Chains A and B, each alone.
Chain A
Amino acid sequence: MQLTEKHKEYWHKNLMITAVLLAIWFVVTFVEAWFARDLNNVTFMGFPLGFYMSAQGSLAVYVILIGVYAWYMNRLDKEYDVDEGDE
């Protein structure tokens, strides 16, 4: 099996989106946890922000990240003609 330039480009784009989403994941997880005490000085919807993020905010971001990945990649498959042909 020989990969074409187009195939390589697809994989490269996959790596890019993976890196971007992973960076957001890192920020809402570890950076958030590291500065949780400072974030708590900010109030958000009646919650201290650090607490809110760890209890709900970061969780919601995770769901969105995965949703975006699935949507983006399933579109990319079609664009680069590597989709499995269902639908």
Chain B
Amino acid sequence: MSQYIAANQATQKAFFQQLKKYYGFYTLGFLGFLVFLAIAEQMGMSKKWIGYWFLFATIALYAGIGIMSRTVDAAEYYVAGRRVPAFFNGMATGADWMSAASFIGMAGTLYLSGFDGLAFVMGWTGGYVLVALFLAPYLRKFGQFTIPDFLGERYGGNIVRSIGIFAAVLCSFTYVVAQIYGVGLITSRFTGLEFGVGVFVGLGGILVCSFLGGMRAVTWTQVAQYIILIIAYLTPVVWLSLKYTGNPIPQIAYGEVLQKVTAKEKELTKDPKEIEVRNIFKERAAAADAKLKNLNASWKADQEAAAKKIADLKAAAAPAPEIAAAEKAAAAYKDEASAKDAYTKAKGLAARAAPPKAHADPYPGKDEAARDNARLNFIGIVFCMMFGTAALPHILMRYYTTPSVKQARQSVTWSLFFIFLLYFTAPALAVLAKYDVYYFLVGSKFASLPAWAANWAAVDPTLLSITDINKDGIVQLAEIVLGGDIIVLATPEIAGLPYVVSGLVAAGGLAAALSTADGLLLTIANALSHDLYYKMIDPNASTARRVTVSKVLLLVVALIAAYVTSLKPGNILFLVGAAFSLAASAFFPALVLGVFWKRANKWGAIAGMIAGLGLCMYYMVLTYPFFGGTAANQWFGLNPISAGMIGLPVGLVTIVIVSLLTGEPDAKTQALVEHVRYPHIKGDTVNTLGT
């Protein structure tokens, strides 16, 4: 035995050295590629071609790794042969974890909501403490292939396993749709391809990789993707920090920038020009509100006025564009419904009549009750994101792939470290970008806007639109409408970097979205092929057949997900949040009690999982408008995204009560619990390692 371990040890060490060498060369190669494109740009390569190069070179790279890692062996396909060293599993988990929402959306959310956006930063990192303390080492010791596997083995019977499959597919699918959406968005924005085409190009990249090599291919691709995404995220921020603070470490340097931003917020709140613009919005909103109350009369009056204006312009032989603009304005009043929409939209301008939000101030609100509610919802999001992190199957699965329990523990440390690099940079980026907007964009002349602002406002008005509301020719803060995603996308230009860095950022965003989609699709296909097909339908299936079934399912699931994405379902951020709440309610109590409480039994787990998941879904339907609910139904004023804060405790208590009311689990199950609690016990006859 010890000889075997020593030999295994030596191979493992050699393998690690080899990996370090490969990925070292790979990183140098990638940097060389950047330099090559930068030179090509100077020599006049067009932006479009730089975009194409990034898109196709990186996707070809991922596909290449996929082809090199192809396999039909079950342990290789499902858990990468269980020999991924802690360090590299950490990188792979980082890429698996950080999605398009983290990469592109996070800094923007922080820019727009200030302190309150930090709930996501805390939630998506602190959850790893729970993964490390409660799950990773024990799941690794258990050593099967999927999360429903653990539930099925620990609680016995197919009911628990089935609930596990259902919950795993539900939350992973919700999440994967958001990723594929991100892939389509990035490819279409940077190459000019159509959204639908972008989705399928990206999907091709995902499939070549996971289809041929399963977890093995996904792991090695994710490591490659992590390296690209972290270089892409940090480069522009470091540059920006150097530009504004003279310090290349943004995470330390932005304190003084934050002070300047805070000072400017106070100034802008009192600035007479700003107040003028805000008052115009207030008046417009009030006027629209009045018209809404008397809808029938007002839309007809507006319709006539618009028609008269067109007639007047035509009579005066006004220039064609002016007439076209008037006709376009008149279209809003063509019937009662569209007039109502126009008024409702105008009424919404009231939001822009508010003074700027204080960036560093927690829980703003008009009175003490509103502030307390903001605090409750902050804590709710932190809670759900943390426990959701510690329950999402595509993340937990990664800890099956390390060679030992010891390395599983170290691997969580590396995972969080690699994730931390991005997440503790995002707040700095948000503040640096805000500084630029407050000090350089605000107060500039409309005739000579900063180049980045002029470019983006022309490209996509949903990302940036600036209108001279009070006609003074100068930009006021209240005149700027900014979409969150622009913060990351425009940073290279704000920092004054060449276009090649913008292409790099797009490649990073693509890597983030693709790597997460890979992990999620694999989770769904594995839950269906391994847990449903092999464990429940045909336990005698050969290894080759199991892997084939998994591959076919992967293809089918990917196509369904792409189809759902092409329908552009509403609010992506809510979908992502919902996945976390659902996972937290369904999985966390059953997984953790399964290890820490021997007395937890089958009936407790069944009742607890159904109660937690059911309550969580019920609360979302009750309170989220998309499902026909209203905010008025909220309990304690808790937002639907935080439904897990209700579902999880109820699930936990249910498992405890029902377990105590029913019989103790059998001796075999108790032995299994003891087995997973110790990394290695001499004379332990329980063997759960999946093959």
Contact = CB atoms under 8 A, between A and B. Distances in A.
A30 B375 CA distance: 11
B128 interface: yes
Contacts of B386: 29
Nearest to B405: A84
Contacts of A62: 125-126, 128-129, 416, 420
Contacts of A5: none
A87 B2 CA distance: 11
Please classify how large the interface on chain B is, using the bins under 10, 10 to 19, 20 to 34, 35 or more.
35 or more
User: Taking each of A47, A48, A55, which has the highest tally of chain B beta carbons within 10 Å of its own beta carbon?
Assistant: A55
Nearest to A74: B406
B417 A86 contact: no
Interface string A19-41: 00110010001100110110010
A75 B339 CA distance: 71
Given A46-B259, A47-B258, A59-B122, A34 B379 contact: yes
A30 B406 CA distance: 29
Contacts of A11: 677-678
Given A34-B379, A83-B680, A63 B417 contact: yes
Given A1-B685, A66-B132, A74-B406, A54 B122 contact: yes
Contacts of A55: 118, 121, 424, 427
B5 interface: yes
B678 A82 contact: yes
Interface string B398-415: 000001111001101100
Nearest to A28: B126
B683 A1 contact: yes
Contacts of B134: 18
A37 to B, nearest CB: 5
A46 B256 CA distance: 6
A18 B133 contact: yes
A45 B252 contact: yes
B410 A56 contact: no
Given A7-B681, A87-B9, A60 B420 contact: yes
Interface of A: 1, 3, 7, 10-11, 14, 18, 21-22, 25, 29-30, 33-34, 36-37, 40, 45-48, 50-52, 54-56, 58-60, 62-63, 65-67, 69-70, 73-74, 77, 81-87
Closest 5 CB pairs of A and B: A46-B255, A55-B427, A70-B409, A36-B362, A54-B118
5 contacts: A30-B383, A36-B115, A37-B362, A46-B255, A77-B680
